[in-house]
Structure 1
């Protein structure tokens, strides 16, 4: 504040020469008695020291003199009231500046200091100056601290002590001395000047709001102290925090002018987690800022951050918001320990996403991983109904019995969005979550679209990097992120950590790096795009088994896998999230394009394959699978094939395979290439009317020889007499006991060479 605030305001009382009718002998309020015509008061026009002055005889124990005008008291202003007095005759009194504080409407504000220090008159004719400073803030040198409730004062003085003395009083002076406390060029306002106390208990909300209103572009200074803010506070101007704030969890602080995380840290005493919660709370409750920049700050986290509880008043949020540029570092604490509950429940394939008759359902946390017989991987508790004893599952169970005991494991996540009903358009970018083998990373909301994680690291998660327990993964986007497991030296088959799962459609997974997890991704739904990633899951074992990296749990995918580096793990297509896994008039395995990828394996068992189909029920087949332009390379030992069917539960129906393409691939260290359609040259050396051609080794997944596209003679076909024959053979597919041979039947025994193009499928 500075003197400009009071420019144009009338502060100085009128001189006594103008009349005594505005000078009260009481409290200065309208209607009170004045000294005009009083027997104990007179105007002296020519005092040798004062010129014109008031001569007053003390007749009351406290003889009051108050100017009846309302001198304004503005927030941040400091006024000095000064009077010069001398004793003439009689008893010598004590003199002090005094006042009455008034609020809007004219009533008195009580409970305030309304008098200045007293000065005793000790001799006659000696001029004594008394003064006092009144203002809104509790500053050194302020005699009367009034806060912001009074808006004016009736100022004057008191004479105390023995009666009977005569004094003369020079004209009273009231002047703005705000600049004595705040230099006129100061670029900030102090909340104390507007009544803030900073004792940790008094509600300073109104003082902060008043300071903000007066700042007008200047900074707000919050000096040392603890300021209780009981209510939501929005500050329009930049704020400097030397002191700290105390607020309830549901009370919001919005720093509108300069929304920066370090300011929230300053505001809450460098409690970084509390500062993050308050800043995030403001992010979702104010429209001026679309992102929270952590300023590169490292936040030490000793417990999961419940993102919905931090906001409190929001359960659904679908406006773009971003958290960027910082690090969460997990520190050791029992708060990260996994909660494990076992409970008996019933299951029916006719109600495939429900567990019913669930014992102890109230103690099963939402977001828990579900384990039990017939339960596929990455099945979670999406919701629960305690009253009905029911649990809603994120996925169906492929083979659960009618009744069994299930295990529910609730991992602890650094950023836990599960308390929301729905979150959409949320982005985390340039953030590292250092789980340090103690926690998991991010748990999504149960519903929402386009959650976007980009240019970030999730390092050493104990169980999961990112988990969806519902459909909050719809159109999930993960771009240019690094995921590093906490199980680097653990054998691949013994690792338990996984990167992420998807229960919905349209995930975009692009240009990420996934290092040595148990599994990298589980993808349900379809419409996924997996481009430019590097995932490697090898270990130091020789001829060791490997596990799936990219695992699809819905058979028909409408998905592309392009330009990835897939190292020591495989792509698996399954239908383990199907309560009725046998084929029943739905789309079967396919809709997948695998093109332009690099496949590598080191020191793996020869039966390892990079592309695996695992049907959980009979009757399924392949319909639409394209594997083109890839490079397959095995090091330190060859492998048998690049593709296989895992028949742990069922085999494929090879009589229904259609629209399969394996072409343009490069095979190194692979005993048998898979090609479809395959074109092979066959020599029939002995004369025979039936030629049996073995195309089986080349047909993907050991399927049937279902189609012959062409038969071309290379050179002459000759009969037993050595004569050229010009007949065309009859072609028979699905020959042999395993239906994987092709037969050519000629009208007579003959020999020669043919080039045959055969297929494992029907093209349409």
Structure 2
């Protein structure tokens, strides 16, 4: 017996031999007439077929027999009513199982079936058995479906047809037949037992919630059908979906005991929708910190607007994670870039805003901005339609005035840009198969410690990971692979970028990226860029190479250590400065480049591994440590490992401070450099002023700005061939290129000295 009824008395009514007062010839309710007093029924103690039996004289068009006992109707239980009947004499009626359906207050439950199928009696003495099954759930095989409002029933038979016949009825049987509907009646309950219809239209929310309340650690079965849920539904127990559910976007389905994507796919029978609903549950649930994709490959037909999937939240700052699966973009999806060209005005006094923007309402947030004087990875962070303004993620370096800008809204598989804040979110062990159709991940406008770990972002069309604002603050990108869709293109033709950041404190560690235009464009400060391998070569002999990492902040406070930079270079710029000429501050400051492998092959001789690109006049280096690196060019020499890109301006070499360029190795580099630079000078004729040129030996072809020491080796002698013990003085920054050091003696002398010259001023 079903456990829901196991504590109840035996369902089978008392036998007629116990008295006919328990049997009504009305509807069976209290006060209805009984066969003990009706005069049209008697007890026959010894029928040859039935033993004790009730003999009825049919006197009404529908002669009723109802057991007055209240047979309970509860979720999960199905009862079968059986009666054996035979005609004795007179007219032959038809017989059926019939009942009175009662609410908890005893009133009749309307609108439900209370009668079974009619079976005619065709011969005297012939035994006819009729039966019907009654229960709450709308299941195949249930004759009378009463729903969740039923509380109990009065069961029996009807005799229908001409009057005057005499019929005998064996003792009525009522049995629990729930086992016919449940494969494991102890461990499973069915939502249909609680009134679920499953027609795709009727709201089954209440039935699902009732099933959850009654489950008591049993599995809840959602059978074949389409179950409409208009409200939130939570299951605290395991679920098994054979059918599927449909829900409005705002409604949450929370599967607490089997919270993973495969179960949501079973629930919604749609991978893409299941992912959205599972993500919605993740952000509306305190019981689970992560969504396991279960190793599934989820086919996406368009961008996942993650905030639209969770319409009740615009910010979320509790740790949550998505892991263990693959997302793949489908070729027939909605991935086309939205492109709008519009006129706008830019002022350096309001450096992150475009004003008087034409067609501003149609420019999507998250659009990439290009135009004259616009640096790399500038995006629309917000907009004010009423004022015709767009807020940008960074300043423009030379765009003052009014011009046409182009706004391109790339499509991202996972798009968080609808959120105001997303913090402490983690994506790990996930592959985003962009298929050259779309981009990977767009971050929220703001938030801290977003993490992407052990992931593959494969063949993005435009971008791998994009930050349009401050959602990258403190971000971790670790042990990820970025695989370009532009492998077969020459460097000059590539446009994809693996990732960008705008805020501070990013940890970019132990990643691998191949053949992008840029691996990372990084504004902000205090970044740790460690242990990455990125390569950007092509098959063009003597070809150009692009920057692997672009550091778009003059004051960097950044560490670039132990990376493998393969056919690419590190570029340091101030392209996010609206007034890019030096007008105060630290200028290009606080950068360490140490312990890296720099390798190139078949490149132009002008190629360099470390490039500083000032976008305005007057800048200088104020704190740079380049040490322990390995610079190597194969299949052809390059001129220098480092250089200044003077496309916009040169550095001010008279203000260089605190530059360390030591302990590096150079192979295939025509002009190795070091700072401080130790030079040996031999003067074979007597000269009072020795002229020593640093040549190309100082970093960035800098000036001989200062001299640390002059050491005499073996003594110097005057014209009388006597040793001169005077201490010479020096003049730095001499000669037309300011790259000479003049050592001045008290008299003309000859001999050998060592001079330690610097391209910076290291005094305090």
TM-score scaled by length of structure 1: 0.96
Unaligned runs of 5+ in 1: none
- Whole-angstrom distance in 2 between the partners of 1:445 and 1:184: 47
Contact in 1 for aligned 2:614/2:646 (Cα 8 Å): yes
Q: CA deviation at 1:491?
A: 1.6
- Residue range with higher mean Cα deviation, 329-338 or 504-513: 329-338
User: What are the within-5 Å matches in structure 2 for residues 128-143 of structure 1?
Assistant: 128-143=128-143
- Whole-angstrom distance in 2 between the partners of 1:502 and 1:435: 21
- Whole-angstrom distance in 1 between the partners of 2:462 and 2:120: 80
Q: CA deviation at 1:240?
A: 2.6
- Whole-angstrom distance in 2 between the partners of 1:686 and 1:480: 62
Contact in 1 for aligned 2:617/2:649 (Cα 8 Å): yes
Identify the residue that residue 103 of structure 1 maps to in structure 2.
Answer: 103
Identify the residue that residue 703 of structure 2 maps to in structure 1.
Answer: 704
Contact in 1 for aligned 2:24/2:66 (Cα 8 Å): yes
User: What are the within-5 Å matches in structure 2 for residues 280-299 of structure 1?
Assistant: 280-299=279-298
- Residue range with higher mean Cα deviation, 454-463 or 81-90: 81-90
Q: CA deviation at 1:53?
A: 4.2
- Whole-angstrom distance in 1 between the partners of 2:557 and 2:51: 101
Deviations 1:170-224, CA, capped at 9 Å, x for gaps: 4322221222443566643333344333332233333333444444333333333
SS at match of 2:3: helix
- Whole-angstrom distance in 2 between the partners of 1:372 and 1:598: 35
- Residue range with higher mean Cα deviation, 74-83 or 351-360: 74-83
Deviations 1:289-308, CA, capped at 9 Å, x for gaps: 22222222222222111111
- Whole-angstrom distance in 1 between the partners of 2:438 and 2:519: 17
TM-score scaled by length of structure 2: 0.96
- Whole-angstrom distance in 1 between the partners of 2:156 and 2:25: 10
Query: Using a 3 Å threshold, how does the CA distance of structure 1 residues 126 and 300 change in structure 2: closer, same or farther?
Result: closer
Identify the residue that residue 726 of structure 2 maps to in structure 1.
Answer: 727
- Whole-angstrom distance in 1 between the partners of 2:89 and 2:531: 102
- Whole-angstrom distance in 2 between the partners of 1:121 and 1:625: 106
SS at match of 2:426: strand
- Whole-angstrom distance in 1 between the partners of 2:131 and 2:518: 80
Identify the residue that residue 584 of structure 1 maps to in structure 2.
Answer: 583
- Residue range with higher mean Cα deviation, 301-310 or 331-340: 331-340
Q: CA deviation at 1:130?
A: 3.0
- Whole-angstrom distance in 2 between the partners of 1:141 and 1:545: 77
Identify the residue that residue 594 of structure 1 maps to in structure 2.
Answer: 593
- Whole-angstrom distance in 1 between the partners of 2:184 and 2:478: 53
Identify the residue that residue 561 of structure 1 maps to in structure 2.
Answer: 560
Q: CA deviation at 1:655?
A: 1.8
Contact in 2 for aligned 1:501/1:521 (Cα 8 Å): yes
Query: Using a 3 Å threshold, how does the CA distance of structure 1 residues 320 and 124 change in structure 2: closer, same or farther?
Result: same
Q: CA deviation at 1:742?
A: 1.3
- Whole-angstrom distance in 2 between the partners of 1:507 and 1:3: 59
- Residue range with higher mean Cα deviation, 635-644 or 497-506: 635-644
Aligned residue pairs: how many? 762
Identify the residue that residue 246 of structure 2 maps to in structure 1.
Answer: 246
Identify the residue that residue 94 of structure 1 maps to in structure 2.
Answer: 94
Two-structure CA RMSD over aligned residues (Å): 2.0
Identify the residue that residue 464 of structure 2 maps to in structure 1.
Answer: 465
SS at match of 2:294: strand
Identify the residue that residue 361 of structure 2 maps to in structure 1.
Answer: 362
The answer to whether structure 1 residue 619 and structure 2 residue 618 are counterparts is: yes
Query: Using a 3 Å threshold, how does the CA distance of structure 1 residues 453 and 487 change in structure 2: closer, same or farther?
Result: same
User: What are the within-5 Å matches in structure 2 for residues 441-452 of structure 1?
Assistant: 441-452=440-451
Deviations 1:592-621, CA, capped at 9 Å, x for gaps: 001100111111111211111111112211
Contact in 1 for aligned 2:2/2:76 (Cα 8 Å): no
Contact in 2 for aligned 1:338/1:410 (Cα 8 Å): yes
Identify the residue that residue 605 of structure 2 maps to in structure 1.
Answer: 606
Identify the residue that residue 677 of structure 1 maps to in structure 2.
Answer: 676
Identify the residue that residue 736 of structure 1 maps to in structure 2.
Answer: 735
Q: CA deviation at 1:52?
A: 4.7
- Residue range with higher mean Cα deviation, 71-80 or 328-337: 328-337
Contact in 1 for aligned 2:2/2:186 (Cα 8 Å): no
Contact in 2 for aligned 1:3/1:184 (Cα 8 Å): no
Identify the residue that residue 206 of structure 2 maps to in structure 1.
Answer: 206
Which aligned segments of 4 or more residues in structure 1 are displaced greater than 6 angstroms?
A: none
Query: Using a 3 Å threshold, how does the CA distance of structure 1 residues 184 and 397 change in structure 2: closer, same or farther?
Result: closer
User: What are the within-5 Å matches in structure 2 for residues 397-546 of structure 1?
Assistant: 397-546=396-545
Unaligned runs of 5+ in 2: none
- Whole-angstrom distance in 1 between the partners of 2:188 and 2:467: 48
Contact in 2 for aligned 1:305/1:415 (Cα 8 Å): yes
Deviations 1:690-742, CA, capped at 9 Å, x for gaps: 11111242221122222211111001111111111110011222222332221
- Whole-angstrom distance in 1 between the partners of 2:128 and 2:375: 94
